[in-house]
Chain A
Amino acid sequence: MTNVAVHLEAQQPSLHAHVHDVPASGATHAEGQQHPIKLYLVVWGWLFVLSACSYLVDYFHFQGYLRWSLILLFMVLKAGLIVAVFMHMAWERLALSYAILLPPVLVLVFVAIMVFESDYTHLIRVVFFAPST
């Protein structure tokens, strides 16, 4: 991904020339994130397609594991595109990427704990507090 970015940036020499014209005090900030607009439009298009797909999962009433895996697949793809391209995480140094992206992954441990906990609660409710149907 980084190689692609370098390649794309290389196609825009005029931008860099323009950026270097700014006063020296702004030079440390002026480099910034420089990518062609087309990249954002393509990602925007993909986000639309993926959103439409996840809506269609509901529209066509897919059920069970097929539904859940499709929802998760489209969700992860959308989240990945937003973080990687829109938030420029793909071009950051790994020190930042790992510091920000690893901790949320550890939330999955919390998810696992709460799945066991709610299974247990559900069992207790069924055994002792079953609603009179």
Chain B
Amino acid sequence: MAETVLTNPGESPARAAGLRGIADDWSSDQRTFKNVSWGKAMMWIFLLSDTFIFSCFLLSYMTARMSTTVPWPNPSEVFALTIGGHHIPLILIAIMTFVLISSSGTMAMAVNFGYRRDRVKTAVLMLVTAALGATFVGMQAFEWTKLITEGVRPWENPWGAAQFGSSFFMITGFHGTHVTFGVIFLIAIARKVWRGDFDVERRGFFTSRKGHYEIVEIMGLYWHFVDLVWVFIFAFFYLW
């Protein structure tokens, strides 16, 4: 099948900014997102739908917590660790937050080096991001193990409202799954970058389409979204 090529008939007139620009873009009877490729636009729209999924999870958690007459377990105590004889509240979650934010930082830099066509730096930074993501999932597995051995179940826990367990396992489980898939996605794209697929415009195995460094940015959008969701989970579930 022939690939659609975006033709560029000379200099296009400057596009309006502000509200006028929004009206122009949406009513142009052409593609709406003028300087955004379909791949990037679809990733944004997927992330929007994913936002609604996580919104529903956090909303059901809010509803459960607000409507229960039993005291809610104190997350500050539940997630505390004793390190070297010191009892530190919420320390594991804080470390997980810093690990995930660091992975977002390395991902943003990978996108930047991708657009500079610096193959090696892009691939290395993506692999560092994947390693930090895997570390995060590992710490989450440790956290789950700790809570399960302490008797937390989706239907009961030793400290208070029964819905604590179901909310915890569903929200962090879904988020951890997103991180896991992100790590797999990262490794797959990093391999392509490392091999130079986007420099020689090698055609994809499944799609037979030419790859571009833009996929690194699209991948980055997904990864930053995972970090973004964690910001909300950290605030609402662990700190509130």
Contacts and interface: CB of A to CB of B under 8 A. Distances in A.
Interface of A: 15, 18-19, 22-23, 25-26, 28-30, 32-35, 37, 40-41, 43-44, 47-48, 51, 54-55, 57-59, 61, 67-68, 71-72, 74-75, 78-79, 82-83, 85-88, 92-96, 98-100, 103-104, 107, 110-111, 114-115, 117-119, 121-122, 125-126, 129-131
B201 A82 contact: no
Contact of A94 (B18, B59, B107): B18
17 contacts: A15-B116, A19-B116, A26-B201, A29-B37, A29-B214, A33-B115, A34-B112, A37-B109, A44-B104, A68-B240, A86-B104, A86-B227, A95-B26, A104-B55, A111-B59, A119-B67, A121-B67
Given A71-B240, A94-B18, A131-B70, A114 B116 contact: no
Interface string B205-237: 000001011100100110011011001101100
B55 A96 contact: no
Contacts of B116: 15, 18-19, 34
Q: Which 8 residue pairs across A and B have the least CB separation, nearest first?
A: A95-B25, A44-B105, A118-B66, A32-B115, A75-B235, A121-B67, A118-B67, A29-B212
Contact of B105 (A41, A83, A111): A41
B22 A95 contact: yes
A58 B36 CA distance: 41
B139 to A, nearest CB: 15
Interface of B: 6, 8, 15, 17-19, 21-22, 25-26, 32-37, 41, 44-45, 47-48, 51-52, 55, 59, 62-64, 66-70, 76, 89-90, 94, 97-98, 101-102, 104-105, 107-109, 111-112, 114-117, 201, 210, 212-214, 217, 220-221, 224-225, 227-228, 231-232, 234-235, 238-240
A78 B47 CA distance: 18
A51 B70 contact: no
Contacts of A103: 48, 51-52
Contacts of A72: 235
Residue in B47, B105, B240 whose Cβ sees the most chain A Cβ within 10 Å: B105
Contacts, number: 182
B63 A93 contact: no
Contact of B44 (A55, A85, A96): A96
Given A51-B94, A82-B228, A25 B210 contact: yes
Contacts of A25: 201, 210
A119 B67 CA distance: 6
A114 B62 contact: yes
A30 to B, nearest CB: 8
A63 B97 CA distance: 22
A54 B234 contact: yes
